Amino acid sequence: MIVYEVFIRSFKDGNGDGIGDLKGIIDSMDYFEYLGVDALWLTPIFSSPSFHGYDVADYYSINPLYGDMTDFENLINVLHKRGMKLIIDLPLNHTSILNRWFLERPDYYIWADENTDVNETRPWDNIPVWHASGRGYYKGTFGRCFPDLNYNNPEVVSQAFDIVRFWRGKGVDGFRFDAAKHIYDDHEKNLKFWKKVVEGAKTGLNVAEVWDAPYVMERYADVVGYSFNFTVFGALRKSVIEKNPLPLYEALLLVKDSISKYFNFLSNHDVTRLASDIPGEKERLFAFGILLTLPGVPVIFYGDELGMPGVYDPYSPEDVVDPFPWTEDMCASGGTRWKSPKFARPYHGYSVIYQKQNEGFLTKIKDWLDFRRRESWINTANLTEIYQNEGKLVYTISKEEKSIKVSLDFQSFGITLS
């Protein structure tokens, strides 16, 4: 299985307003089949005041810029007819400040009391988590516009279960559970919560976003289905950039026994794109080769297959979600123009048409994607041997009678399979 992350607003416009939408995704089915992807992960589809949609105003709606519920149902039908699955991003930790719950049900949120340190900050960047309002201070771990839901209120828990069941009833195959470790301030309580969520959803293809130690990510994967492999993500980039197998070797040892429980990735909407950290085409092809020979589920962020650049800025996160370059001029029918491309600019050779006509990076990645489609057993394979020396890293992937030895040369950026 190969998963492809689509940032809807930037991908393809299906109605001529310059904004990516659900009809545009339907119109892109031949491209998804060309890549050989098995599932799409859509960033939030719900009504929201932001460009990214992670602050949900209404969990039971489709953002009108993207279409309506009929469009969404059509998308599911088209995907399923083509044998593909759909994963939708579901931010349940917080809502939009414009969600009617925040206006009408303050008991659904977390409020400071006389014992609260309202100067508390986030551990990773020291930004305040408590925000003043006319009702007092409310908690918003991810910012003032993202008030945290209070899952100590049974009604909020019930609402979350209802939301998941609703979308599963629409035919969604699974969910990316955003900020999964932040529901409670305790992993054990979180795991019990997610266990009930998944049971209510009747399983599905679910993945938890948990940026933490490997043993923590593994526990969430055991409950939800999968976790994103942040351990290998950072180490893989570091090893390629430094031409040193050691960081990746050490990371693989940490996740060796659980690697098939992970969604492995090279970049996403929350980090600098692969091509900006690793501009060399040979080195990027090498990174893709590693991704597509590791057990677990490989995830491709839209445009990475074209070498789209983009430097992540937490104060300007739209920088990594430039419009998808279908054509070199980026203004043909289907192109999105909701923002000016900051990094992936016109006439720089990033477009699908240019790369297909000129044997660009896309056509070279296609060979690795075809390999992974043929060897789909790798998703649930084991890492049975890992060692490194003299600039090389070797691992063996095996399942039952099948086995492939992968030799990575971090000096020449060559990959040998045997």
- Quick one: tokens of 7? 């940032």
Active site annotation includes 188: no
Q: Please give the single-letter amino acid code of residue 14.
A: G
Paired tokens of 320: 């990594």
Tokens of 20: 């990516």
User: 301 with 273: CB under 8 angstroms?
Assistant: yes
Whole-number Å distance between alpha carbons of 165 and 317: 31
- How far is 59 from 2, CA to CA, in rounded Å? 27
Contacts of 187 (CB under 8 A, 6+ apart): 181, 216, 219
Examine the residue annotation and report whether 38 is marked as an active-site residue of this protein.
Answer: no
- The first and second tokens of residue 191, run together, are 């795991």
What 3-state class would DSSP assign to 131?
strand
Euclidean distance between CA atoms 291 and 263, whole angstroms: 10
Using CA atoms, how far residue 380 sits from 226, 298, 371, in Å, is 12, 12, 16
| Contacts (Cβ under 8 Å, ≥6 apart) of 385 | 394, 395, 396, 405
304 token code pair:
């990475």
Annotated catalytic residue: which of 209, 277, 304, 322?
Answer: 209
| Residue 212 burial (C-beta neighbours within 10 Å; 0-12, 13-18, 19+) | middle
Q: Closest Cα to residue 251, out of 388, 136, 370? A: 388
Three-class SS of residue 345?
coil
Q: Are 227 and 210 within 8 A, CB to CB?
A: yes
Q: Rounded to an integer, what distance in angstroms lies between the CA atom of residue 148 and that of residue 92?
A: 9
Rounded to 10 degrees, what is the CA torsion of 158, 162, 168, 172?
-90
CB 59 within 8 A of CB 46: yes
| Active-site option among 178, 305, 319, 322 | 178
d(CA 371, CA 291): 12
Picking from 392, 418, 415, the residue whose alpha carbon sits closest to that of residue 404 is: 418
**Residues with catalytic roles:** 178, 209
